[in-house]
Structure 1
Amino acid sequence: MFRTLTFPAMKPSKILFWLFFLSFFSSSLLFSQELLINHVNIITMENDKVLEDHSIYVKDGVIMEIAPEEEISVAGIRTLDGRGMYIFPGLAEFHAHIPLPEQFGPEFQEEVLWLYLANGVLRIRSMLGHESHLTLKARVESGEIKGPRMFISGPSLNGTSVSDPEAGRAMVRAQKAAGYDHLKLHPGLDTPKFLAIADEAKKIGIFYGGHVSMDVGLVTSLNKGYRSVEHIDGYLEAMITDKSKLDPTKSGPFNMLSVGEVDKNLLPGLIKMTLDNKAYVAPTMTLFERYFGYQPAYELRQQPEMFYLPGQLVTQWFNTKTQLESSGVLAEEKVKPYLDFRKALFLELHQAGVPMLMSSDSPQVFNVPGFSIHREIESMSNAGMSNYEILKTGSVNCAEYYEQGGEWGVLKPGAAAEFVLVQKNPLEDLTTLEKPQAIMIGGKFMQRDELQLQINLIRQKYIRQ
C-alpha cells in the first residue's frame, strides 16, 4: 500500500535535510525506469469505465501493459501495491501563464511548476510566451528539473505589437522558427492584421487563438481558423446586434454589463460555426468568478493557497480587484446576470459537442497555479458537466487539440506513462483530485511525500511576518 507521510512545521534546516534524504531515497528506489503497480483501479479515459483490480506496467516513460495482475509477469523490477487506489491520466491546465523571470526571479518559475505537479497537473499550455519559457521547457524534458510537460505560446500578437499586416506575418514566422507551439492573439487587432496573421499561420502550420478583437469578431475568427477561443470570448458580442451597446466606457470588463442586450436566437448559428471549424473553447470559469465576480477581494486574499505565492503578487491582485470593487462595477446585482449567462453558455456549447479545454488562467488574479484547476473543476461541475466529461477536458480533449490523441491523456499500451493516483474514484468524487497520492511523469514516480515537501518549502519561503 502507498504510505503517505505528513510533514509538520519545521525549521528550514530540517526541511532541507528531509528534502535531501527524500531526493536520495526517491532517486534510488522510486525513480526506477521500470515500475509495476498492482491491485489498482484504472480510469483509462478511453471510456467512462473503471478497470478494477488491474496492474499497470511502465518502462522508460511509456505504458507497456495494462491487465489483470495474473496476466502480467515481469521479473526483477520494482513493484508497488496500489490496492484501493485509483489511477487516471492526470490533468492539463490549458490556459496557464508561466511567470517572466524578471517578475520574481527564475526560482519562482520553477516553484510554479511544482505547484502544478503537487495538484496533479501534468501538462500545461502557457499562453503568453517568453524565450525563457522555451529554456524551461527543454530543462523539464531533459529531466534537469521537474515540472509538467509544456506547450508554449509565443509573445502576444495584438494591436500594439503588430504594426501592420506584414509585421504580423513576420512575427508568425519568427515565433514558429523560435520553437513556440502556439500563437496567442490579444485584443486590438484590426481585420487586415488578423487576416495576415491567420494566413501566415496556416501556411507554416502553427495553431493560433486567444481573445477575439472587436474589429475582427467571432465569426471571422472562427472562419479563419481560430483553434481555441479563450474565456468564451466573442460569443456575447456576436449575439448583440446593436454594436453601440458595446461601449467599453459603459459596458464594463468583457462587456459584462451588456448581457441584457444578448439575442439568444443567434447562438445556434454560432455553435454550428464553432463545430464546423473544429474550434475548441477554453472557458476559464473560475477566472471570471474570482477576478470579476462579487466575492470580496479581502476574502479571496485569505484563502490557503495564496500563501504559496510572493506576498507582493497577492497584494497586486488585491489592489487590482479592489479598484474594480470601489468603482461599483463588481456589485452582485451587476455581475450575477453575467456569470449566470456564462454558466449557461458554457453548458450549451458543451452539450452541443464543442470540445472544452480545462483552463483556469493561472497565475492570474486570485487563481493560484494548480490549486485553481480544482476551483475550475468545481465551476464546471456546478454548471452541469458530468465528472467524466470534466476529466476529458483536462486529458483527452487537450491531447486531441494538438492532434496527439492516444499519445497522452489516456492510459493504454504505447501511451505516455503520465498518471495520478488518488484515494477515491474521481468519477464519483471530484474532490479526491485535490490530494494526489502519487504522480508518474517523465519516467519518474513521485509520492505525495515529495510533492508535499516541495510545496511546504515554497510556503515556508513566503511566510508573511
Structure 2
Amino acid sequence: MKIVKRILKIITGIILITIVFVIIKLGVDIKRTSYLKIKNIEHANIDSYIIKNANIIPMNKDTVLVNKMIYFKNGVIQEIADNIEFDNVEIINLENKFLMPGLIDMHVHVWDRYELGLYLANSITAVRNVWGMPMHLRLKKDINDNKIIGPDFFTSGPKLTGPEFIGDDNLQLNSAEEAREKIISYKEKGYDFIKTYYGLTEEIFDAVIEQATISDMDIVAHPSQKVPYSYHFNPQIKSIEHAEDIIQQPLNYKLDTLKLNEVVNSFAKHKNSTFCPTLTVYNNIYQMLINDNILASDQLEYINPLIKMVDSKAQLDRWQNTKLRDSSIVKAIKEQHDFHLKIIKELHKAAVKIICGTDAGIGVTVPGYSIHKELAFYKEAGLSNYEVLKTATVNASETHKSMSNMGTIEVGKTANMVVLDTNPLLALSTLENPSTVFINGRKIQKETLNKFEEKARDRKNLVASFVRYLENMIIE
C-alpha cells in the first residue's frame, strides 16, 4: 500500500507541476501579446476624427472622390463632403493620400493573437475564421469588448464532417439528430457561422441545413464529396469554398472545360451563391514542390510555431516525397493552378460573386501577407483592379448580414479604412504598405503596424498553442 500511495503522490505531483507549467506558459503568451491591448496603443482609445485632403475610393462604385473630407464619430462614418466643420474633433490631414475600405479575408485559420496584428499590418480590417475553437470565442469577445485591437473577427464553429473519420481536426457527426444538437449548441456558445466539411452525407447535410435555417446561422461550405456539387447551391449556404474542389468533384479530377461550363452555369443560375477560391493555398503546393527549403524562408517566420512544426512540415514532406515518386506532379500541380485562373475568369464573366479568401494559417500560407498574392491571382485571371478590390471589400461585406456595416466608405458604415500612398486602382501592391489603418475608427499608425509585424516574427508560443488546440480536442 505504501508503494501505491507513493506512486499516486508522484503522479499527483507530476500533474500539478504540468498544470502550473501550462498556466505559466499561457500567462507568458498573454503578457507577450499585451501590445495589442487598446490602452497600450497610442491614439487607439480615440474613435472620432475628421479627415481632410483625402482621395476616397468608396468601393460602392469605380471612382475616386478627390480631395474630400470625411467625419466619423464613435467609429461610424457620419459625413463625406467638400467641407466639414465640427468643434472638438481632431483633424487628420492626409495630404492627398488615398483612403479606401479595409480588406476582408473571408477564409482564414487563426492560431494566436499575434496574427491579429499581421492582418492589420496588411490592410485587413476583418477576417472570417472558418475552423472554430473555444479560443476563438474568447478572442472574438476581447475584440468586441474593446480589450484588444484586431480586425473585426467572425468565426464558424468546428468543421462538421460525416461518420467517416477524416482527421482529429474535424467534428464527426453520426446522425441527423446529433447535427441539430451541435448547431443549437454553437449558436448558444456564440459562433457566427456553421462550417460544413468533407464527408457529410445527404441525411446529415439536410439536418445541418434545416437546423442552421431555424437557428439563423449562415453556412460556409467546403464541398462534401458525399453529395452532388449542386447540393451546395442552397440559400442557407452563403459561400462555397475552394477552386480545387470544383476540379476534384464535378470535374472528376480532369481539367475539363466543357464540364466547367456546366458548373459555371449552375453558379450563374443560383444568384445567391458566392464563391471563395482560395487560390493561394493551392498554389503553395507548387511552391513547396519547387523549393524544398521553403520552411527557412523569411516569411515563414510569421507562421505559428506549432503549425510550422506540424502542418507545414508534414505538407512539405508529403509533396517532396510525392515528387520523388513521380516527377510529373510538379507540372500537374502547375497546370491545375493555371486552370483555377480559368475558373475565376469564367465565373467572373458569368457575373458570379467572388469573395477573397486565402486559407491563411495552414501549410505555408502566411496570415496577412497571403492576401496580396491572392488578389494578384484574380488580376492575372482577368479582373480589373477595381473588380479585384471588390472581392475583398464590398463583395465580402454582402455575404453575411453581420458584415453589412463594412466594405465601403459611405455614411452609416463602420470606419474600417486604410490610408495608402498611391492609388490601388492603379497598383494593388500599395496595399502591402498602408501608412495608417483605421479599425472601428481607431487610428493605428505605421510605426505601430511595424511593431505588430516585429512582435509576430519567430514567436515562441508553441506550448501555449498546443494547449489551446488540446482544449478544443477535449471540449469538442
Normalised by the size of structure 2, how large is the TM-score? Answer: 0.81
| Change beyond 3 A, Cα 1:318–1:24 | closer
Q: How many percent identity over aligned positions?
A: 27
Question: CA-to-partner distance for each residue in 1:312-331, whole Å, 9 max, x for gaps?
Answer: 53343134223222122673
CA distance in 1 between partners of 2:235 and 2:78 (Å): 41
Q: Counterpart of 1:365 in 2: which secondary structure?
A: coil
Question: How has the CA–CA distance of structure 1 residues 447 and 23 changed in structure 2, closer, same or farther, with 3 Å as cutoff?
Answer: farther
Instruction: Name the amino acid aligned to 1:33.
Output: D
CA distance in 2, matches of 1:457, 1:239: 44
What per-residue deviation string (whole Å, max 9, x for no partner) do you get for residues 111-167 of structure 1? 011111111110011001012211211110111011111111001110241011111
> Is residue 397–residue 406 contact of structure 2 (8 Å, CA) maintained in 1?
yes
Aligned residue number for residue 76 of structure 2: 62
Mark the CA change 1:265 to 1:454 in structure 2 (over 3 Å): closer, same or farther.
closer
State the match for 1:140 in structure 2.
Answer: 143
CA distance in 2, matches of 1:233, 1:175: 28
Is residue 198–residue 224 contact of structure 1 (8 Å, CA) maintained in 2? no
Structure-1 separation of matches of 2:264 and 2:453 = 41
Partner SS, residue 454 of structure 1: helix
For residues 80-109 of structure 1, the C-alpha deviation after alignment (integer angstroms, 9 at most, x for no partner) is 11013111101011001122xxxxxxxxx1
Which runs of structure 2 are paired with 1:293-308 in the superposition (5 Å)?
A: 295-308=289-302
Q: Which one of 67, 81, 85 corresponds to residue 93 of structure 2?
A: 81
User: In structure 2, what is the Cα distance between the partners aligned to 1:290 and 1:266?
Assistant: 25
Structure 2 residue aligned with 1:314: 308
5 Å-filtered alignment, 1:437-448, equals 437-448=435-446
Alignment of 1:37 with 2:37, yes or no, is no
Aligned to 1:163: 174
Answering whether residue 268 of structure 2 is matched by residue 275 of structure 1, we say yes
In 1, the alpha carbon distance for the partners of 2:343 and 2:191 equals: 31
SS in 1 for 2:409: coil
CA distance in structure 1 between the partners assigned to 2:317 and 2:403 by the alignment: 43
Report the residue type matching 1:393 in the other structure. Answer: T
TM-score (normalised: structure 1):
0.83
- Return closer, same or farther for 1:442/1:208 CA change in 2, 3 Å cut-off: same
Question: What SS class does the counterpart of residue 153 from structure 2 fall into?
Answer: strand
Whole-angstrom CA distance in 1 between matches of 2:142 and 2:458: 25
Which sections of structure 1, spanning at least 5 residues, go unmatched?
1-15, 100-108, 241-245, 247-257
Offset from partner CA, 1:45-92 (integer Å, 9 cap, x none): 111100111111111001111112xx2111222111101311110101
CA distance in 1, matches of 2:292, 2:414: 42
SS at match of 1:87: strand
1:189 alignment counterpart = 200
Indicate the residue corresponding to 1:12 in structure 2: none
The amino acid that maps onto 1:134 is L
* Distance (whole Å) between structure 1 residues aligned to residue 174 and residue 41 of structure 2: 55
Structure 1, 123-132 or 302-311: larger mean CA deviation: 302-311
Q: In the alignment, which of 447, 451, 454 is matched to residue 453 of structure 1? A: 451
1: CA distance between counterparts of 2:209 and 2:381? 33
* 1:282 maps to amino acid: C
1:26 equivalent in alignment to 2:63: no
**C-alpha distance 447-355 of structure 1, shift in aligned 2 (>3 A):** same
Aligned residues: 414
Name the counterpart of 2:220: 209
* 2:285 and 2:333 in contact (8 A); partners too: no
Q: What residue is the counterpart of 1:6 in the other structure?
A: none
5+ residue gaps, structure 2, are 1-31, 164-171, 462-476
Give the superposition deviation at 1:307.
1.8
TM-align CA RMSD? 2.4
Task: Note the C-alpha offset of 1:273.
Answer: 2.6
Structure 1 residues 19-418: aligned runs within 5 Å: 26-27=42-43, 31-68=45-82, 71-99=83-111, 109-160=112-163, 161-223=172-234, 225-232=236-243, 234-237=245-248, 239-240=250-251, 258-260=253-255, 262=256, 264-277=257-270, 278-292=272-286, 295-311=289-305, 313-316=307-310, 317-328=312-323, 331-403=329-401, 407-418=405-416
Q: Counterparts of 1:152 and 1:282 in 2: how far apart (Å)?
A: 16
Does the 8 Å CA contact 1:217/1:234 hold for their aligned counterparts?
no
**In the TM superposition, what whole-angstrom CA distance separates every residue of 1:265-285 from its partner, at most 9, and x where no partner exists?**
343443333233311111001
C-alpha distance in structure 1 between counterparts of 2:319 and 2:344, whole Å: 25
Residue deviations 1:182-210, cap 9 Å, x none? 11111111111111111221232211132
Tell me the distance in 2 between the aligned counterparts of 1:336 and 1:211.
Answer: 22
Aligned to 2:307, the other structure's residue is in SS state helix
Counterpart contact for 1:31–1:446, Cα < 8 Å: no
Check conservation: 2:278, 2:359, Cα contact below 8 A: yes
